[in-house]
């Protein structure tokens, strides 16, 4: 079942990356929806691991995604689903096993019928839409996307892990909001990276980051990181503002969202300090 969890984690990321690669609006929507479903599979398998007292972590294999044609990654998705099919017998929950089996069967059928297209998500052109950014702004934009896409993936996994191991409804609502918000940011940044030809899979997260022993200190550090992220957004907004007001407005939008994230983390911190959750 541990291996099933790992392979589902990897499948989720491959399908998500494929959604960024496609330029076809319907294909992008379908793959994005499927990636959300597969992530739910991952969380349900995780719950089963916890229920049966099976030790696990979020380690996984490197995921090669650099392709010239979408069909290559779609075939890879099908191969990965076929491998997972063979592992589903390890799930003791019959209802969950049946649900995942039927989902993957449908996803495989739909993916096999998606039209091929040329992929430009790895051409390193570093041009976003039709904006004429200076080299300084382009370099700042590039660095931001690489750093923040990893950070958002990291936060998804950290808050998902904390939620999976908590029975506190108040905290779990906060953790779920933070997971959802990080998903929006990851998808936004991933799409921008694909547009600029610099798409990449976030690196593997070390278990020390999510297997948190001191949650109070983790939340304090997290608040500091969110404050730093706000500064990065402001700096990037200023850097690109001379060349693209639309981009500057987007990063201001992200910056203000960080304010609410900080407020939520402060609420969680107060709850831990007062109740020792």
Segment 226-245 shows an average pLDDT of: 79
Of the pLDDT bands very low, low, confident and very high (cuts 50, 70, 90), residue 169 is: very high
* Reported confidence tier of residue 230, pLDDT bands at 50, 70, 90: confident
pTM, entire model: 0.94
Bridge partners, 69 (sequence order): 118
- The answer to whether residues 152 and 225 touch, using CB atoms and an 8 Å cutoff, is no
**pLDDT given for residue 275 in this prediction:** 72
Four-residue CA torsion sign, 112, 72, 118, 66: positive
* Contact assessment for residue 37 and residue 104, using Cβ atoms and an 8 Å cutoff: no
Q: For residue 225, what pLDDT is reported?
A: 85
The pLDDT > 70 percentage for the chain reads 99
Which two three-digit tokens encode residue 19? 């959604």
Inter-residue contact 8 to 38 (CB < 8 Å): yes
Choose the weakest-confidence range: 74-78, 128-132, 190-194. 128-132
186 and 153 in contact (C-beta within 8 Å)? yes
Whether residue 117 is predicted with pLDDT greater than 70 in this model: the reply is yes
C-alpha 264/C-alpha 277 separation (Å) is 16
Give residue 243's pLDDT: 72
Residue of higher predicted confidence among 235 and 113: 113
The answer to whether the Cα torsion of 12, 14, 16, 22 is positive or negative is: negative
Lowest mean pLDDT among 73-87, 188-202, 225-239: 225-239
Domain ranges of the chain: 1-119, 121-277
The predicted pLDDT at position 140 comes to: 87
CATH 1.20.1260.10 fits 121-277, yes or no: yes
């Amino acid at each position: 079942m541990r291996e099933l969890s790992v392979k589902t984690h990897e499948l989720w990321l491959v399908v998500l990356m494929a959604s960024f690669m496609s330029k076809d609006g319907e294909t992008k929507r379908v793959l994005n929806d499927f990636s959300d479903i597969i992530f739910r599979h991952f969380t349900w398998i995780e719950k089963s691991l916890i229920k049966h007292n099976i030790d696990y972590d979020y380690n996984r294999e490197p995921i090669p995604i650099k392709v010239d044609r979408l069909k290559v990654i779609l075939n890879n998705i099908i191969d990965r689903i076929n491998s997972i099919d063979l592992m589903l017998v390890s799930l003791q929950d019959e209802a969950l096993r049946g649900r995942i089996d039927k989902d993957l069967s449908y996803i495989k059928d739909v993916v096999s019928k998606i039209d091929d297209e040329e992929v430009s998500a790895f051409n390193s052109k570093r041009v976003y839409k039709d904006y004429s950014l200076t080299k300084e702004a382009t370099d700042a934009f590039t660095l931001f996307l690489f750093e923040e896409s990893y950070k958002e993936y990291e936060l998804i996994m950290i808050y998902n892990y904390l939620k999976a191991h908590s029975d506190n409804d108040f905290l779990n609502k906060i953790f779920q909001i933070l997971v959802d918000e990080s998903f929006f940011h990851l998808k936004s940044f991933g799409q921008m990276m694909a547009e600029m030809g610099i798409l990449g899979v976030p690196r593997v997260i070390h278990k020390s980051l999510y297997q948190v022993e001191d949650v109070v200190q983790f939340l304090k550090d997290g608040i500091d990181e969110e404050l730093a992220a706000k500064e990065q957004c402001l700096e990037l907004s200023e850097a690109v503002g001379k060349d693209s007001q639309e981009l500057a407005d987007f990063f201001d939008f992200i910056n203000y969202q960080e304010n609410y994230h900080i407020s939520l983390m402060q609420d969680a911190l107060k709850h831990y300090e007062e109740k020792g959750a």
